[in-house]
């Protein structure tokens, strides 16, 4: 890791992008090499050890790529499950997620912080004044 960084610093101005790409290609090559679940689980444990070591050493590129690699590894190991889920379940999950984002955006756009107490008070004031 340190050797790659010293070579890249001499030749390239923005080293982080190349570090992400190099570690990503290494992980993708490793994920493509294992044949069965025990190999995948061993690879996942090794990635987990790399995540802990890179977090302790504050090595950001390796940490971020390792997080992505472990997520990809989990997806690869559970691909039979994801293939067995019906298509409408995917649509339901995606639709609920989009509705959730829309609700979040609408709530954040409101300038008035509306809660139940102020809504009831506003309703009471409208009823008392007799106006709509």
Tell the residue number behind the tokens 């790399």, with chain if given: 50
Instruction: Of 5-9, 94-98, 116-120, give the lowest mean pLDDT range.
Output: 5-9
Burial profile 45-79: b = 16 or more Cβ within 10 angstroms, e = fewer: eebeebbeebeeeebebbbbbbeebbeebeebbee
Average pLDDT over residues 98-118: 75
- Count of other CB atoms within 10 angstroms of residue 13: 7
User: Are 61 and 99 within one domain?
Assistant: no
Please check the confidence at residue 10 and state whether its pLDDT lies above 70: no
DSSP 78: T
Whether residues 71 and 9 fall in one domain: yes
User: Contact 20/42 with Cβ under 8 angstroms?
Assistant: no
Residue 78 confidence (pLDDT) above 70: yes
- Are residues 90 and 25 both part of a single domain? no
Range of the domain at 115: 85-132
Number of domains in the chain: 2
- Quick one: 79 and 89 in the same domain? no
| Cβ–Cβ < 8 Å for 62, 23 | yes
* Residues 77, 42 share a domain: yes
Nearest Cα to Cα of residue 75 among 30, 23, 42, 31: 31
pTM of the predicted model, to two decimals? 0.54
């Amino acid at each position: 890791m340190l050797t790659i960084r010293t070579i890249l610093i001499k030749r390239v101005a923005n080293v982080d992008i190349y570090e992400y790409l190099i570690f990503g290609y290494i992980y993708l090559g490793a994920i493509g090499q294992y044949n069965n679940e025990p190999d995948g689980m061993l690879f996942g444990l090794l990635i987990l050890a790399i995540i802990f070591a890179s977090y302790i050493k504050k090595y950001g590129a390796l940490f971020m790529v390792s997080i992505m690699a472990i997520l990809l590894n989990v997806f690869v190991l559970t691909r039979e499950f994801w293939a067995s889920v019906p298509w409408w379940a995917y649509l339901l999950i995606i639709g609920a997620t989009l509705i959730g984002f829309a609700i979040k955006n609408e709530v954040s756009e409101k300038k008035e912080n509306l809660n139940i107490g102020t809504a009831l008070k506003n309703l009471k004031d409208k009823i008392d004044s007799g106006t709509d």
